[in-house]
């Protein structure tokens, strides 16, 4: 089955700096890669996703890149703000053939004002 | 638009008591449905998923069970709770390509 690894487990950055979270996956059949943000006590919220036919996707201050050959994808947050502090999860799924989403173990991001 | 409901929001139950958590989805048909558990400060553990009425797949052996009596209803149950069942229980739905989570039920087993 699919195995998703996520690094780092914790990340602290100064406000205004960039943050990068990286994930690797093992199953070449995976073709959909969402990222979730979970604030304390809340549900995970989908913030951005990318499909395997795209190498990069951007939405304001967040972007995701995908390298299918190396089987890794990354979340980039620029100009970080205190409200970006949360736990971020990556996931992988074979959306057109599979039913399961495989999650990374999460990255706790702290943005220091 | 699609909406997912879970109840109750919080629950405190003694060890050995039964459990029933309910999840319903509005605004979509024939979704895949999932139950996840999240221990404090930990990641998401998939417990069950369902691709249709009466179709349940279990990911880990445990004292929990799930049922899907209707297309948009997913129920998580236990006959006897353990201390280790404490956690944040999240229901999720997906259609091809996207998955969304419900608001969750915080369960404390005492």
Give me the pLDDT at residue A97, please.
66
Q: Which of B91, B93, B109, B77 is nearest to B6 (CA)?
A: B91
Residue of A38, A43, A95, A96 to mutate when probing chain B, most B C-beta within 10 A = A43
Is B101 within 8 Å of chain A by CB?
Answer: yes
Q: Given B44, B46, B51, which is nearest A89 (Cβ)?
A: B44
Q: What is the number of helices (H) and of strands (E) in chain A?
A: 0, 11
From first CA to last CA, the distance across chain B in angstroms is 38
Mean pLDDT score, A1-13: 95
Residue of B44, B59, B74 to mutate when probing chain A, most A C-beta within 10 A = B44
Q: What length is written for chain A?
A: 113
Written in H, E and C, the secondary structure of B31-72 is CEEEEEEECCCCCCEEEEEEEECCEEEECCCCCEEEEEEECC
Is A25 within 8 Å of chain B by CB?
Answer: no
Sign of CA dihedral A25, B93, A64, A19: negative
On the question of pLDDT at A29 being above 80, the answer is: yes
On the question of pLDDT at A95 being above 80, the answer is: no
Residue scoring higher pLDDT (A95 or B21) = B21
Q: Tell me the pLDDT of chain A averaged across its residues.
A: 94
Residue where the block lists tokens 């459990």: B19
Low-confidence ranges of chain B (pLDDT < 50): none
**Do A96 and B99 lie within an 8 Å CB cutoff?**
no
Count the alpha carbons within 13 Å of A60 in the hemisphere toward its beta carbon.
4
- Here the tokens at position A18 are 């960039």
Q: What length is written for chain B?
A: 110
């Amino acid at each position: 089955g699919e195995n998703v690894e996520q690094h780092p487990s914790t990340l602290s950055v100064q406000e205004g700096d960039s943050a990068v979270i990286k994930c690797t996956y093992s199953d070449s059949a995976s073709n959909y890669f969402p990222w979730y943000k979970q604030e304390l006590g809340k549900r995970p919220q989908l913030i951005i996703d990318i499909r395997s036919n795209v190498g990069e996707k951007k939405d304001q201050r967040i972007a995701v890149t995908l390298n299918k050959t190396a089987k890794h994808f990354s979340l980039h947050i620029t100009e970080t703000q205190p409200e970006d502090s949360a736990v971020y999860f990556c996931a992988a799924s074979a959306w057109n053939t599979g039913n399961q989403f495989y999650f990374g173990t999460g990255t706790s991001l702290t943005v220091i004002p | 638009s699609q909406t997912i409901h879970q109840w109750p929001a919080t629950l405190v139950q003694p060890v050995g008591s039964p459990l029933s958590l309910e999840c319903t989805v509005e605004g979509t048909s024939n979704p895949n449905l999932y139950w996840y558990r999240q221990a404090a400060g930990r990641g998401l553990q998939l417990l069950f998923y369902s691709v249709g009425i009466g179709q349940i797949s279990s990911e880990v052996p445990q004292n929990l069970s799930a049922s899907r009596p209707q297309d948009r209803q997913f129920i998580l149950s236990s006959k006897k709770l353990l201390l280790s069942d404490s956690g944040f229980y999240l229901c999720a739905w997906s259609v091809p390509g996207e998955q969304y989570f419900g608001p969750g039920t915080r369960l404390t087993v005492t």
